[in-house]
């Protein structure tokens, strides 16, 4: 009976140790904890964030310089791989997408500034566009014909 408890204890220990190690790795990766470390020494007015520079290509994981009291550190950041690349440090409230412009095959919408991230210089109003969907949407009354 004692050996059965010992085996069960070892199995539980073998399951718990890897999950604790993976939790620690997640916290060491960067992001929020890096911001807290730099921000704890300076107020938000004293902290200056540079643009996020991707490690490869023009989007994905990257690094950003953070300057505080003449001390510069690099922190992890991420640039989304979509049509918002130019306005990633600014948060906007967007309206509905407009109709497709057949001459340019794009549709657009405008947004107003909601919040600037990392002391970014943001435009008050922006207009973004994206390619029109190649599929035509059916109205609710239409049915498939077989």
144 within a domain of the structure (yes/no):
no
Residues whose CB falls within 8 Å of the CB of residue 123, separated by 6 or more in sequence, listed in order: 87, 90, 113
The count of structural domains within the chain is 2
145 within a domain of the structure (yes/no):
no
User: What does pLDDT average to over the chain?
Assistant: 75
Domain range for 50 is 30-81
**Judgement on whether residues 34 and 68 belong to the same structural domain of the protein:** yes
Phi-psi region at 114: left, alpha or beta (left = phi > 0; alpha = psi -120 to 50): alpha
> Which of 42, 58, 81 lies at the terminal end of a domain, its last residue?
81
36 within a domain of the structure (yes/no):
yes
19 within a domain of the structure (yes/no):
no
**Judgement on whether residues 34 and 76 belong to the same structural domain of the protein:** yes
What is the predicted pLDDT for the residue at 93?
Answer: 92
Task: Find, among 88, 73, 75, 77, the residue nearest to 120 by Cα.
Answer: 88
Question: Is the pLDDT score of 33 beyond 80?
Answer: no
Cα–Cα distance between 68 and 48 in angstroms, integer? 7
Mean pLDDT, residues 47-74: 84
Entry pTM: 0.39
Cα–Cα distance between 90 and 123 in angstroms, integer? 8
What is the predicted pLDDT for the residue at 138?
Answer: 60
11 within a domain of the structure (yes/no):
no
pLDDT tens for 82-138 read 655 556 678 889 999 999 998 988 999 999 998 887 777 788 999 988 888 876 656
Percent of the chain with pLDDT over 90: 13
């Amino acid at each position: 009976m004692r050996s059965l408890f010992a085996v069960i204890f070892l199995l539980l220990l073998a399951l718990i140790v890897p999950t604790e190690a993976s939790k620690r790795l997640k916290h060491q990766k960067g992001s929020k904890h890096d911001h807290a470390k730099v921000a704890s020494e300076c107020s938000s007015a004293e902290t200056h964030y540079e643009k996020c520079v991707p490690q490869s290509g023009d989007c994905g994981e990257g690094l950003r310089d953070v300057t505080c009291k003449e001390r510069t550190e690099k922190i992890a950041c991420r640039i989304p791989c979509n049509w918002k690349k130019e306005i990633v440090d600014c948060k906007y409230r967007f309206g509905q997408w407009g109709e497709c412009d057949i001459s340019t095959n794009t549709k657009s919408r405008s947004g107003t500034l909601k919040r600037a991230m990392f002391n970014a210089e943001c435009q008050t109003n922006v207009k973004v566009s994206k390619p029109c969907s190649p599929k035509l949407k059916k109205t609710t009354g239409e049915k498939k014909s077989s």
